[in-house]
Amino acid sequence: QSVLTQPPSVSAAPGQKVTISCSGSSSNIGNNYVSWYQQLPGTAPKLLIYENNKRPSGIPDRFSGSKSGTSATLGITGLQTGDEADYYCGTWDSSLSGGVFGGGTKLTVL
């Protein structure tokens, strides 16, 4: 059971938009930065969003992040088949004094 809650799966058609939610509490998302990672099959995770809503160099603006209260959201527009992957949110938990990840969301581009 993960500290952060993500939907197990989401799906949408190519070209459409999808959002992935990450729900937590005041001890984690509510008072700490959130980051998002994309993991393609058989590869290491890749940073998509850091400090809630910032994109690293090289990440297209189709990917966006937001945070409100104790929840965060990853948005992906203009879906491509290459976006099929597992997506994870992560943050610090002040009560645990440790890092935590969501359980992951599998994105299917139909």
**Which of 11, 16, 51, 110 is in the footprint of another protein by CB under 8 A?**
51
**Which of 10, 72, 74, 100 is in the footprint of another protein by CB under 8 A?**
100
CB 105 within 8 A of CB 10: yes
Closest CA to 84 of 60, 108, 61: 108
Which CB sits closer to another protein, 3 or 18? Answer: 3
Which CB sits closer to another protein, 18 or 29? Answer: 29
59: contact with another protein by CB under 8 A: no
24: contact with another protein by CB under 8 A: no
C-alpha 8/C-alpha 69 separation (Å) is: 22
The DSSP bridge partners found for residue 68 are 71
